[in-house]
Amino acid sequence: MEVDSRVLEKLGDRQEKEGSLPEILEFYRALLRIQVEARAAISTAQPGLTKTKVSVQIRKGIPLLKWDALSADWPTFQNLFQAAIAAIDEHTTSECESLRKVAADTALLEEATRIWYEGSSLSPWAGSHGIDEELLAAAIHCAIKPFLTSKAESLIGLVPQKQWRREYCPICGGKPDFAYLDKERGSRWLVCSRCDSEWLFQRLGCPYCGNNDPEAQAYFASEDDLYRLYTCQSCKTYLKAIDLRHTESEVLLPLERVLTVDMDRQGQEQGYRGGWAGTAPDEQ
């Protein structure tokens, strides 16, 4: 929560200095404000996991936060979902009418969110309700995030980092969408695309398909060596990263995702896709 508030502060400073923010940052700020406001009212209680249970789940590779333990408050979720639609409507060209119909029905919302959370494809559900899948996923993500991050923050300290090292988040099971190399040793940490949890991963190897053949794995560094774009020939994905050994300034990871959209463009121009979005080619 502190990070999100710092991000809002930083964006406010930048706006003051430059007069206005780029549209993508305005949109991001609108979503973040909705989430930060909601977080204040959401319980941060740890969902009753004992040490033994945690160690069994970690050993078996089962993420700690099951759907049932998420215990989202659905009326609050619904408000957040509606606020997300309003922000999407204001800041993008997306057609939100079909989303509004779902937003009026708590049971439908819960059903869609469960499918999204459990990692199944939203495509059939979105199709049968006449909604764009990507748009639905974006609104769900915005609305569920305050619930996810509050639980994640209370659980991440229980994860034995050296033991996990898997391709998915130890808390919610989500895929990473950002990485960083730490200041101390340059170890590579992944950041969850859904709940912002961070976990230790190997330096080499693709966190989407598991390939670790040096021939298929590469990265391109920015001129100042601060950023890296990792690519995988095997599943044709990219992952953005920041090398914290090359900066003394404060780095806010959630903001870095948005500040590095140029790297997304570069990755896509070279024929790669973000490995956290959509389904892998072999799942289609």
Residues that bind Zn ion (CB under 5 A): 169, 171-172, 174, 192, 194-195, 197, 206, 208-209, 211, 232, 234-235
Q: Between residues 25 and 65, which has the closer beta carbon with respect to Zn ion?
A: 65
Measured from the CB atom, is 31 or 235 closer to Zn ion?
235
Instruction: Give the shortest CB-112-to-Zn ion separation in angstroms.
Output: 19
The C-alpha atoms of residue 43 and residue 123 are separated, in whole angstroms, by 31
Rounded to a whole number, what is the largest CA-CA distance in the chain?
53
Nearer to Zn ion, 32 or 96 (CB): 32
> What's the rounded Cα separation, in Å, for the pair 203 and 206?
9
Residue closer to Zn ion, measured from CB, 145 or 194: 194
Pick from 87, 136, 142: nearest CA to 109 = 136
Tokens standing for 94? Answer: 């997306």
What H or E segment, with its residue span, contains residue 38? helix 23-39
Which residue, 178, 185, 233, 226, is CA-closest to 205?
233
Residue 17 beta carbon to Zn ion: minimum distance, rounded to whole angstroms: 33
For residues 83 and 81, give the distance between their C-alpha atoms in angstroms, rounded to a whole number: 5
Burial pattern 116-145, b for ≥16 Cβ within 10 A else e, equals bbeeeebbebbeebebebebbbbbbbbbbb
Measured from the CB atom, the residue of 66 and 91 that comes closer to Zn ion is: 66
CB of 227 to Zn ion, least distance (A): 20
Shortest CB 151 distance to Zn ion, Å: 10
- Encoded tokens for 199: 């976990």
Q: What is the smallest separation between the CB atom of 159 and Zn ion, expressed in angstroms?
A: 11
Q: How far is the CB of 175 from Zn ion (least distance, A)?
A: 9
Judged by beta carbon, residue 72 or residue 169, the one nearer Zn ion is: 169
Looking at beta carbons only, is 198 or 243 nearer to Zn ion? 198
Q: In terms of C-beta density within 10 A (0-12 exposed, 13-18 middle, 19 or more buried), how is residue 184 classed?
A: exposed
Q: How far is the CB of 238 from Zn ion (least distance, A)?
A: 10
